[in-house]
Structure 1
Amino acid sequence: MTRPVLEARNLTKEFSGFTAVDDVDLLISEGSIHALIGPNGAGKTTVFNLLTKFLQPTRGQILFHGEDITPLKSAAIARKGIVRSFQISAVFPHMTALENIRVALQTAEGSSYSFWKSGNSLHKLNERCMELLESVGLAEFANTTTVELAYGRKRALELATTLAMEPQLLLLDEPTQGMGSEDVDRVVALVRKAAQGRTVLMVEHNLSVVSKLCDRITVLAQGAVLAEGDYHTVSADPRVREVYMGSAGSGERGSQGAASDNVEAAQ
């Protein structure tokens, strides 16, 4: 059996009496691509924030390679090899693509704040920058200011900056959000490539993407685990269809009607 990279036990987050994440158990196996899905407000991003310690859990435990990392702060989590992206593209808009990668590499090697060094000292990082840009299909845009890049390419650049941190566990929050079909296909290929030799946990609303990429899926509803398994198992689960399509016989498709279309289309 593949050993777990990350494990959450009884993970709970309460906000002034409201339980956003309710006693969640999560096991992420080494080398897998694992998806966290669910309707709007299910608690997916909150779980991400707990795992990466942007939020402190009310109760529960987080283990990374068997080590209890629950007390650690987010910077310490990243240094251990747990690196995440965000729903909103997090790149520097007025720097070039290469400069964005170089900042990430400086962070990874601990030289981010060496202001007394000459800018020429950063040139040694350029070869690795170009390798990372090549890996996400952006080599020809190395000297393009990021604000001039199309949205899909900005997300690809963000993936490259994330990979510059040499993550063991890569957490991707809605990597295809707001993309057209062509960009979605490109990002699916990039995520599959990025997953080689590492473990990926992703929040993703596009169930067609999930069906193509993911080995295992955890479905959240109202902050709790509703179902878990491979895509065919969870997509056939009547409870999963219920939370995506709304109550049967209600005469309404519910707020997740578009997601239910994805359930049908991806099968």
Structure 2
Amino acid sequence: MQDEIILETQGLGREFRGFSAVTAVDLKVRRGSIHALIGPNGAGKTTVFNLLTKFLPPSTGRVIFDGHDITAAKPAEVARRGLIRSFQISAVFPNMSALDNIRVALLRVAGGGHRFWSSNRRLDALTERAMALLADVGLTEFAPVLAGELAYGRKRALEIATTLALEPRLMLLDEPTQGMGMEDVQRVTELIRRVAAGRTILMVEHNLKVVSSLADRITVLARGQVLSEGDYATVSNDPRVMEAYLGVSSAEPVAETEAGHG
């Protein structure tokens, strides 16, 4: 049914001085699902995320979110509608405690804007909800710790919590396990699984082991175009996908370096 689709792109494309970074991408993200966008380095994944969040205007095509055409919308309008990109937008301040980071994000939703320093009373009123969000991501005991002092994986968990504070209708997770060791990867994978309950997530992820354990549906990009789509079994056995990943066996996780140019 059409109302099951929360995000759709139709013929989405972007050119840079004659070079086509993304070409005719048709994407449908179902409400309540975890949808992964994968592909080798330079496939166009980051460009697609930038087009969805309106940091780049498309050269061609349309973006429809929750029944509204947002193709010409500004980034702030898209965020207000509930399309929130984690790790890029979420406000994490290293010299503030984990609790205060969440309270500031909640204040933004409540209409406090950037005037959070003007009223401790307003912040105090948000403490209960902030602590609940910290509990959701397993950071209750780290509430008083400065964000800059948190271990890398826990810092990412805090960033997810600040994104949840913004009440997203669709969370875009941009390389959530990039640069992590095995222990942190496992912790963040479990965190994403937990917070996905009742929510919709579109994620760019380089680690196929993470993708295989989380994603309901996967879209594979190569050279800016959709190469394959389906569940993990479908895309991992597609010979075109194996060729795009330089012959890597579908049974092995692929470690891809995005370097911001995906």
Runs (4+) of structure 1 exceeding 4 A deviation are 87-90
SS at 1:105 equivalent = helix
With structure 1 as the length reference, what TM-score do the two structures score? Answer: 0.90
Partner of 1:249: none
Contact 2:91 2:162 (8 Å CA) reproduced:
no
Structure 1 residues 121-200: aligned runs within 5 Å: 121-200=122-201
**Following TM superposition, by how much is the alpha carbon of 1:121 offset from its aligned partner in structure 2, in angstroms?**
2.4
Partner of 1:6: 7
- C-alpha distance in structure 2 between counterparts of 1:108 and 1:129, whole Å: 12
Contact 1:89 1:154 (8 Å CA) reproduced:
no
**Following TM superposition, by how much is the alpha carbon of 1:113 offset from its aligned partner in structure 2, in angstroms?**
3.2
- C-alpha distance in structure 2 between counterparts of 1:195 and 1:242, whole Å: 31
SS at 1:265 equivalent = coil
- C-alpha distance in structure 2 between counterparts of 1:82 and 1:59, whole Å: 20
Is the alpha carbon distance of 1:116 and 1:35 closer, same or farther for their aligned partners in structure 2, counting shifts above 3 Å? closer
Partner of 2:236: 235
**Percent of aligned pairs with the same amino acid:** 64
Alignment of 1:53 with 2:54, yes or no, is yes
Partner of 1:93: 94
Is the alpha carbon distance of 1:88 and 1:120 closer, same or farther for their aligned partners in structure 2, counting shifts above 3 Å? closer
With structure 2 as the length reference, what TM-score do the two structures score? Answer: 0.92
Q: Number of residues paired by the alignment?
A: 253
- C-alpha distance in structure 2 between counterparts of 1:233 and 1:88, whole Å: 33
- C-alpha distance in structure 2 between counterparts of 1:87 and 1:211, whole Å: 24
Alignment of 1:265 with 2:231, yes or no, is no
**Following TM superposition, by how much is the alpha carbon of 1:92 offset from its aligned partner in structure 2, in angstroms?**
1.1
Q: Which runs of 5+ in 1 are unaligned?
A: 247-259
Contact 2:8 2:28 (8 Å CA) reproduced:
yes
- C-alpha distance in structure 1 between counterparts of 2:106 and 2:129, whole Å: 8
- C-alpha distance in structure 1 between counterparts of 2:100 and 2:138, whole Å: 16
SS at 2:96 equivalent = coil
**Following TM superposition, by how much is the alpha carbon of 1:264 offset from its aligned partner in structure 2, in angstroms?**
2.0
Aligned Cα root-mean-square deviation (Å): 1.8
Contact 1:93 1:147 (8 Å CA) reproduced:
yes
Contact 1:192 1:213 (8 Å CA) reproduced:
yes
- C-alpha distance in structure 1 between counterparts of 2:88 and 2:215, whole Å: 19
- C-alpha distance in structure 2 between counterparts of 1:158 and 1:65, whole Å: 24
SS at 1:245 equivalent = coil
Q: Which runs of 5+ in 2 are unaligned?
A: 254-262
**Following TM superposition, by how much is the alpha carbon of 1:186 offset from its aligned partner in structure 2, in angstroms?**
1.1
